[in-house]
Amino acid sequence: MSITTQQVNVLGSRVSLLSVEEAVFQLEAWIELREPRCRQVVVTGFHGLWEAHRDAEFFRIVNGADLWVPDGIAPVLIARARGIRGARRVPGAELMEAFLAKADFAGYRSFFYGDTDETLIRLKQMVEAKYPGHVVAGTFSPPFGAVSPEEDAEHVRRINEARPDVLWVGLGTPKQDRWIHEHLDRLDVPVAAGVGAAFRFLTGQVSRAPAWVGRLGFEWAYRLAKEPRKCWRRCFVQGPQFLGHVLLELAGRRY
């Protein structure tokens, strides 16, 4: 079962326009279906769109996902510029929180893959305290560098044996989306979602912008102020490049 959603086309990529609640409903529907395949959810904004525009392989991966929701404001503003009303962001942290609240009553199971051991310990403690009806099926922090085929197979085995309903992957874009895509045929999990820095947002290790700042579209500026070394290139190099191509596209010119 899939919900019907509007989509906005940005530099050739298709992003679904739905609310956080609708996205959670879709996850639940896939969990209940128990199909013999894993569904991929992409959660990203302009960074993922720009990577897809520059990299044909990544374009194929994200546009082949079962659901792509806008973590950032860029796809939402572009949708509004094209006359699509009601477009909203679906930040990874908010998607996780909304799902965990539902899981608290339904008893769903999650596996958290990515980030550091410290972050995962904090995340597990927070989830178990705030959502006692939800089951933390497992956590794993993979090595930063390359892993051997044997190690990779062991990671997948640990995930599958934990029997999660959703695998949350926090490796950052585009790494997390590539990882999910490459493992889809081996994951015995209904849904795998790449949620970037959501683990750190939920544990308070990285502060999120106030809600009104996010609604106005300036969360990127808030994160730049908090993490300038990490965000400056994305904001001052990739951002203007992306904006220039989008303006050409909106004007009906080649990009």
Tens digits of residue pLDDT in 31-72: 999 898 999 999 998 899 999 999 999 999 999 999 999 998
pTM of the prediction? 0.89
Domain that holds residue 160: 6-203
Q: What is the pLDDT of residue 228?
A: 63
Q: For residue 213, is it within any domain?
A: no
* For range 22-28, the mean pLDDT: 97
**Sign of the alpha-carbon dihedral angle for 227, 229, 234, 239:** positive
Does the pLDDT at position 110 exceed 70?
yes
13: burial class by Cβ within 10 Å (0-12, 13-18, 19+)? buried
What beta strand segments (E) does the chain contain? 6-10, 13-17, 39-44, 67-70, 109-114, 135-140, 166-170, 191-194
Give dist(CA 46, CA 74) in Å, integer: 6
Q: For residue 215, is it within any domain?
A: no
Q: For residue 230, is it within any domain?
A: no
Beta pairing partners, 135: 109
Q: For residue 68, is it within any domain?
A: yes
Question: What's the CATH number where 80 sits?
Answer: 3.40.50
What is the tens place of the pLDDT at every residue in 208-224? 656 655 565 556 555 65
Q: For residue 246, is it within any domain?
A: no
Beta pairing partners, 193: 41, 168
Q: For residue 67, is it within any domain?
A: yes
**Mean pLDDT value across the chain:** 88
Q: Predicted confidence band at 112 (pLDDT cuts at 50, 70, 90)?
A: very high
Q: For residue 219, is it within any domain?
A: no
Q: For residue 74, is it within any domain?
A: yes
Domain count for the chain, please give it: 1
Q: Predicted confidence band at 1 (pLDDT cuts at 50, 70, 90)?
A: low
* For range 162-185, the mean pLDDT: 97
